Amino acid sequence: MISCNSKPKEKKNKEHNTTVQKINFDQGKNISLPYMVSTNETTLMSWVTKVNDSISQLNYATLEDGNWSSPKKIVQGQNWFVNWADYPMIVENNGTLLAHFLKKSSDETFAYDIKLNLQKSQDSTWQTELPLYSDETKTEHGFMTLLPYKEHSFFVTWLDGRNMAADPKKESGHAGHHGTMSIRAAEIDKDGTVISEQILDSNTCTCCQTTATITSNGPIVLYRDRTDDEIRDIAITRLVDGEWTTPKFIHDDGWVIGGCPVNGPKVDAIGDDVAAAWFTAANDQAQVKVAFSENAGASFLKPILVSNVGTLGRVDIVMTDSDHAIVSWMESIDNLTYLKAMKVNKLGEKFEPIIISKMDMSRSSGFPQMERTGNKILFAWTKVGDGTSEIEAAYVELKAFSNQSLGSWE
């Protein structure tokens, strides 16, 4: 079985130096958790600043003419739940901005709520800490996905732990909690009103990121599911004719694991064409895979193996046209960890991977982000060291991902 080169070669380092172009992001120390979103040639990035030991702040900036704008504050406060894997997000729809962060609801480790923040088009101030749900249980609510939806609304999906204390005979995966984690979805209008809240699946993995995209048929949601036999593969549900379909696996990896791996999928779509990336360690073989759909997620083509040497997952994916996508992931080779990206074709053709940056493999480095803007693929990640953290950003010209085909194989 062939995969990415197990040892980076000299030409890889040279390619890294010439192909990957850094974008200055000089916002100081003690910042982390970048999240990027691109819409209509506008790219936003949010991040969290640790103001001091008790106060956190959510900021954002816009990419303007290849440079990041001065930071703008969304909200700051105390008792935030700041976690390496459950990061805040920002999204824009026709000038209206929606962002979220997580706030502790009790002293228990996994008891926190999602807080929405809305800035209406033409307004200069934010409405902060708006509610997403009426549930008041002191349980986990997070791992959210935000998307622009329709002309002025937003689509959101999240993991909701309101039932995690319901059944003391069934362990949930978090110490002191029982019952099952669920995944829910809703629409938020331009005024911040939550409508059409629905439960999508009543038993999911407890702390893997959710992901969603809007196809020409409507929203689809992917997440790590959980069966009674502890199979935790990637599932999909689709909104079809106003009803959510019964969740089903996009591929039967058969990963049986007794706890959450904290490694969720990513999905992107162009019309009815969909590309999904995910991490699995079924049969004790860590792998990153990509699969394409030609019918808005109703079914998927055969998965493509992207990495199976030292892979850590933490994936992202961006479709570049109906047949191709760029996938990014982290992998560790010879005690060094890299953020890599590769172009793949839906029929299995893969291109030479590009090393975006060296990384710290610890949880503190979080989940690198990738977005497309014009003819560039943007990257952002957390750099950690000496007890501090910074955010770095870079781009690669889209054409650079097509330099060398590696052919098709399994």
- For residue 36, give Cα distances in angstroms to 58, 183, 211, 286: 13, 23, 14, 27
Mean pLDDT, rounded, for 357-385: 95
Element (H, E) at 16: helix 10-19
375-396 tens-digit pLDDT: 999 999 999 988 899 999 999 9
- Residue 172 pLDDT class (50, 70, 90 cuts): very low
Mean pLDDT of the residues in the chain = 91
Name the more confident of 85 and 178: 85
User: Quick one: pLDDT at residue 177?
Assistant: 52
Mean pLDDT, rounded, for 234-260: 97
User: Quick one: pLDDT at residue 408?
Assistant: 61
In words, the CATH class of domain 32-308 is mainly beta
User: Tokens at residue 207, please?
Assistant: 């702390």
CB 144, CB 120: distance < 8 Å: no
Q: 17-26, 33-42, 229-238: which has the highest mean pLDDT? A: 229-238
Amino acid occupying residue 78: Q
Residue 106 DSSP SS3? coil
Share of the chain above pLDDT 70, in %: 91
User: Quick one: pLDDT at residue 407?
Assistant: 64
Q: Based on C-alpha coordinates, what's the Rg of the chain?
A: 20
CB crowding 334-356: b at 16 or more within 10 Å, else e: eeebbbbbbbbbbebbbbbbbbb
Backbone angles phi, psi at 292, to 5 degrees: -110, 150
Which residues are bridge partners to 381 per DSSP?
Answer: 392
Q: For the whole model, what pTM was predicted?
A: 0.92
- Domain range list for the chain: 32-308
Element (H, E) at 249: strand 248-249
User: Quick one: pLDDT at residue 110?
Assistant: 86
